[in-house]
Structure 1
Amino acid sequence: MKTGQTLPKITFQTRVRDESIEGPNPFRWEAKTTDDYFAGKRVVLFSLPGAFTPTCSTYQLPGFENGFADFAALGVDEIYCMSVNDAFVMNKWAEAQGLKNVKVIPDGSGEFTRRMGMLVRKDNLGFGLRSWRYAAIVNDGKIEAWFEEPGLCDNHGEDPYGISSPETVLDWLREDAKGQAA
């Protein structure tokens, strides 16, 4: 569906550690653009409804984190996890998950997600606007492969998970590598 599409140009508001700042919160704001994350790289981007939620924290994020070496062996430079959460939440979630490989991208206002056509209402869970679960292989800012969970709609009664799983994305990369070698 979105294969071949170029990612929207967005500026994300992130928080980065800065040792020159004293005190208990040594972080500063840093604006990062779509190009900062995606230009000149082949990456896996996966987006999910919320940090600290069960499926995201138990399966999807740990699967990408633990499988990073397999992704890298198939030509992936980075793996990014995005959610419609602010930088404070995303950084705390990354810390709580002990991330070493996957990098988080806060889409606090949901602007990137909206422009991707993946912003949905999750008022039925008290979440408000969030991302529908999906994954993509992005090569230099252009979508190479797209993995969207079925049933995209507002206030979906379930949280489908499988098509955007690390295993599915890795299987696609393996098949693609075989095709490239042939």
Structure 2
Amino acid sequence: MFSRLLSRSLTLPSSLPLRPLSAPSVSSKIIPLTFIDSSGSRLTVPSLPGQTLYSVASSAKIDLGPEPSVGGVVEKIHSERWTEDLFGVGINSGYDHVIIPSSYNSLLPPRSLDELNNLKAVWDEDEIGGGSRLASCVVVKEGMEGMTVYVPDGVPDDCP
């Protein structure tokens, strides 16, 4: 009797299609980014959605200047009616300057006034262009596969 129950429990109706189960893997989420420095050296680095460009560069030993710390109040706009104050997450350093090609503008949030002010506090006006961003403010997401990130010549000499 037990063998008959066992064979029944293993029998699947013929109308049920059998599909192999496949779970997403980390490798399916990897987004390759290419960093190019002022000398033209290129390094393609794997990244994951949710990482900042600064953390991706740091993990690959790409020097973007001192590690940015966070502080101050920042508003995160969730919708037209809901704005949230985020304490302790504001930008307070402009050293991690990178240049993003304009073809990726649609994937990035607009540059905030805080981000621009921090860039201007460290870099000269002629070094800041339309694609200038702080690496700590750019979060990697799907669609950025193959994006090129240009790293300027380094932190200006007259800054601490």
TM-score tier by shorter-chain length is under 0.3
- Structure with the bigger percentage of strand: 1
Q: In proportion to residue count, which structure has more helix?
A: 1
TM-score normalized by structure 2? 0.27
TM-score normalised by L of structure 1? 0.25
